[in-house]
Amino acid sequence: MTKYLSIIDLQRIEYIALTNTQFWNGLSADVKKILTECMNEAAKYERSISDDLNKNSLELMKSRGVQVYTMTDKEKKVLEDLFVPIYKKWTPKIGEDLVAMARQAGK
């Protein structure tokens, strides 16, 4: 078992629901609205379960002697700044909107 854990809070795992464009475009506006609302509700539920699982797992690890270090905001900023060259590289290729979404998802 690991002895140490650092919590950096710079990203999260996202799950994406995809569909064929032709199929999606063939749906009525009402059905699209219902499916979108259901997916948003499912995403909130999943995040709630994930947050509970992470909290419980962290407490279990602490109870078993894992030393947990949570980075300060200043330390997080230093680490986040290391990603700036990656953002600069990919922004012209995939667009500012997608880079901004990726950065926001990590907060």
Percent of the chain at pLDDT exceeding 90: 60
**pLDDT tens-digit map of 4-50:** 999 987 666 777 888 999 999 999 999 999 999 999 999 899 889 98
In this structure, are residues 1 and 67 in contact, taking their beta carbons and an 8 Å threshold?
Answer: no
Q: Which pair of tokens denotes residue 30?
A: 């009402």
Strand, helix or coil for residue 65: coil
pLDDT for residue 12: 67
pLDDT for residue 107: 65
Residue 106 has pLDDT above 70, yes or no: no
- 5-to-8, 50, 57 alpha-carbon distances in Å: 10, 18, 12
pLDDT for residue 56: 96
pLDDT for residue 99: 85
d(C-alpha 38, C-alpha 32), whole Å: 10
* H/E stretch holding 91: helix 84-94
Q: Taking residues 100-106, what's their average pLDDT?
A: 76
